[in-house]
Amino acid sequence: MKPDTPLTEGRLYLWWSRMAAMTGKELLQLGRDTLLVGAVLYLFTLDIMMAGGVKMDLNQGTVMVHDADHSRASRELIYRFQPPYFKLGGEILDQNEGIRLLDQGKALVVLDIPPQFQHDLIQGKPTSVQVQVDTSNTVLGTLAANYSAQIIGKYSFDAALQRIGLAEESLAGVPMLVDQHRVWYNPNQKDAWFMSISELLTVITVLAMMLPAAAAVREKERGTIEQLVVSPLTPVQILLPKVIAMTLVILLGTAMSVGLVLYGYFHIPIKGSLPLFFAVTALYTFAMSGLGLFISTISRNLAQAAMLTIMIMMPIILLSGAWTPPEAMPPGIRQAMYLSPLYYYIEMAYGILLKGAGLKVLWDSLLGLGLLGSLVFGFGVWRFRKQFG
C-alpha cells in the first residue's frame, strides 16, 4: 500500500471497515474479561458514590473539658462546642487524663477552663482558656484550632457586650461588622459535589491511561502483536482502534456516572452544556491514552506497564489542583502544574458541571489541553510507529 496513491472511495471504505473491525475486536476482548468489566463498572458507579460520602470538613470532633471553675459562665462556653464541628465527649478530672485521651486519638481537643473564670469575667480582668489540639493530622488539627478560636472569640465578644451593659436586642447601636457569606456554585458546601466529581475525573484518568496501555502490552506479551504487524494493517490502524474502543468505553461509563450518580444520586445541578463536557472528556481521554501508548512502548510486560502507569499518574493527579490549591504551591511546582493535562481538564469539568461556564470562559483551558494533548498523543503514536512500523 503506497501512501501517495489517491484515496478512492473503495480504499476509504476499506480503511474504515478495517478500523471498525479492529475497534470491534478490542471491545469484544474487553467484554469477555468479565472481571475487568465488573471493575470498570464498579469504578464508574459505586466507587464514586462511596467517594461522595466522604466529608472533608471537621465533623463532630470530640472535645473533652477540664472545667476548674464549674460556673454558669464556664458552662455557657462549653455548650458552644456543638455539632456539626464538635461534640462534647465529657468532663475530665485532671490534665494527664487529657493528654492520655489525645494520645489515643479519643479526643481531638481538650479545653481547659481556669478556676476563677467567671469571677474574672465579672471583675473585668482578662482571662484565658487553654485549648490543646491534636495536630498530628495537620488538616484536621488546623480546622479544629480555627473553629475553637472562632467559638471562643465569639464568646469573648458577647461577654464584652454583656459586661458593658449591652443586651442582644440593642446591638443595632453598636458599630460592628456583620458577616454575610454567599457561597457560589455549591451554596451548601456539600462535600459530595466536590468529591464525586473529583473521583470521576480520577477514574477517567486511571482508565484512560491503563486500558490502552494494557491492551497494547498484552498483545506484545502474548506475541499476538506479530500477527497484527504482518497483516495489511498500518501501525495507526492497530493503534487507533485501541484508543477509540477505550475512549468509547470511558465515555459510556462517564455518561452512566454523570446520569446515575452525579445527577441521580447526589443531585448536582448540571449547569453547563453536557455535549461540551463529553467533547472535552473525549479530548482528555485521547491525550491520556497517548501517555498509555507511550508506556506500552517502553514496557515488555504488564507488570512493568502497571508500575509505570502509577508512577506517571500520581504526579498528574497531585499536580491537578483538585487536592492541592495551585496558588499555594511553591513557584517551581506551580509551573509544573501547567504540564499536567488533568489540570486543564479539572478546570473545565468543574467549570462546566458546577459553574455553568461555556467556551467563552474556558477557551484558554481548552487550548492548553488541546496543545498538550496533541503533543502527548503524537509522541505516543510516534514511539509506537517507531517500534512496530
Task: Name residues contacting another protein, limited to 358-387 (CB under 8 A).
Answer: 361-362
187-246 residues near another protein, rule: CB under 8 A: 187, 189-191, 193-194, 206, 210-211, 214-215, 218, 221-222
In the numeric block, which cell numbers belong to residue 353? 458541571
Question: Closest separation between CB of residue 378 and another protein, Å?
Answer: 24
Question: Closest separation between CB of residue 216 and another protein, Å?
Answer: 11
- Cβ closer to another protein: 11 or 106? 106
Give which of 111, 99, 113 is closest to 68, Cα–Cα: 113
Among 182, 232, 275, 331, binds another protein (CB under 8 A): 182
The SS3 of residue 67 is strand
Stretch that binds another protein, among 9-17, 241-249, 288-296, 319-327 (CB under 8 A): 319-327
- By the rule CB under 8 A, 328 interacts with another protein: yes
Q: Sign of the CA dihedral 162, 168, 170, 174?
A: positive
Question: Closest separation between CB of residue 265 and another protein, Å?
Answer: 14
- Cβ closer to another protein: 102 or 291? 102
Among 45, 116, 186, 387, binds another protein (CB under 8 A): 186
State which H helix or E strand residue 113 sits in. Answer: strand 109-113
The answer to whether the beta carbons of residues 277 and 352 sit under 8 Å apart is yes
DSSP single-letter state for residue 236: H
The SS3 of residue 60 is coil
The answer to whether the beta carbons of residues 288 and 209 sit under 8 Å apart is yes
- Cα-based torsion angle of the residue sequence 297, 209, 301, 245 in order, rounded to the nearest 10 degrees: -90
- By the rule CB under 8 A, 269 interacts with another protein: no
Strands 86-91, 109-113: pairing is: unpaired
Question: Closest separation between CB of residue 70 and another protein, Å?
Answer: 17
Among 82, 95, 150, 335, binds another protein (CB under 8 A): 150
- Cβ closer to another protein: 86 or 377? 86
Give which of 276, 273, 257, 254 is closest to 265, Cα–Cα: 257
- By the rule CB under 8 A, 302 interacts with another protein: yes
CA distances from 216 to 39, 152, 172 (A): 19, 61, 72
Among 1, 93, 167, 183, binds another protein (CB under 8 A): 183
- Cβ closer to another protein: 12 or 149? 149
Among 22, 63, 140, 376, binds another protein (CB under 8 A): 140
Query: What is the C-alpha end-to-end distance of the chain, expressed in Å?
Result: 13
Question: Closest separation between CB of residue 5 and another protein, Å?
Answer: 38
Give which of 148, 291, 106, 137 is closest to 211, Cα–Cα: 291
- Cβ closer to another protein: 37 or 371? 37
State which H helix or E strand residue 287 sits in. Answer: helix 274-298
Q: One-letter amino acid identity for 292? A: G
Among 17, 82, 128, 231, binds another protein (CB under 8 A): 128
Go through 232-255 and write b for each residue having 16 or more CB atoms within 10 A of its CB, e for each that does not: ebbbebbbbbbbbbbbbbbbebbe
Question: Closest separation between CB of residue 59 and another protein, Å?
Answer: 4
Distance (Å, whole) CA 276 – CA 205: 18
Binding track over 28-67 against another protein, x by CB under 8 A: -----x-xx--xx-xx---x--xx-xxxxxxxxxx-----
Stretch that binds another protein, among 5-13, 227-235, 346-354, 369-377 (CB under 8 A): 346-354
Binding track over 159-178 against another protein, x by CB under 8 A: xxx-xx------xxxxxxxx
Question: Closest separation between CB of residue 1 and another protein, Å?
Answer: 32
In the numeric block, which cell numbers belong to residue 276? 461540551
Distance (Å, whole) CA 181 – CA 303: 51
Distance (Å, whole) CA 203 – CA 317: 11
- Cβ closer to another protein: 9 or 179? 179
In the numeric block, which cell numbers belong to residue 72? 454558669
Question: Closest separation between CB of residue 194 and another protein, Å?
Answer: 5
Question: Closest separation between CB of residue 261 and another protein, Å?
Answer: 15
